[in-house]
């Protein structure tokens, strides 16, 4: 019974994360409408779109983390072994 309850909680957490990720993608899609290609006071709208989209993209790290291969919850990512600094590389 406890295992089932923990599974439901985990599913609800992932559903919340999926919803927030969808919202980020939707914001980027909306931005593509806001920043149509045109000259705007000397600033190209694509540049504004790119900056806005990259800001939104960075928000994904608040929800999940990645080692470049897999996705992890923030808690699980913090438990991963840290890479040792290589000598001579800073």
User: Each residue of 8-40: b (16+ CB within 10 Å) or e?
Assistant: eeeeeeeeebeeeeeebeeebeebeeebeeeee
| Interval 66-83 mean pLDDT | 85
Predicted model pTM: 0.60
Domain limits for position 23: 14-79
Residue at 36 is within a domain: yes
pLDDT attached to residue 23: 92
Place of tokens 């000397």: 42
Residue 8 confidence (pLDDT) above 70 = no
- Count of residues for the chain? 90
**What's the structural domain count of the chain?**
1
Residue at 22 is within a domain: yes
Residue at 85 is within a domain: no
Mean pLDDT across the chain, nearest whole number?
A: 78
Q: 3-class SS at 52?
A: helix
For the segment 23-65, what is each residue's pLDDT rounded down to a tens digit? Answer: 999 999 888 888 776 666 556 777 888 888 999 988 888 888 8
Residue 2 confidence (pLDDT) above 80 = no
Residue 88 confidence (pLDDT) above 60 = no
């Amino acid at each position: 019974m406890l295992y089932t309850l923990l599974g439901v909680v985990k599913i609800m957490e992932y559903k919340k994360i999926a919803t927030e990720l969808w919202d980020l993608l939707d914001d980027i899609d909306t931005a593509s409408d806001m920043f149509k290609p045109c000259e705007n006071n000397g600033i190209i709208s694509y540049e504004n779109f790119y900056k806005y989209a990259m800001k939104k993209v960075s928000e994904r790290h608040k929800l999940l983390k990645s080692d470049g291969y897999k996705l992890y919850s923030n808690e699980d990512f913090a438990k991963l072994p840290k890479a040792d600094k290589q000598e001579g590389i800073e």
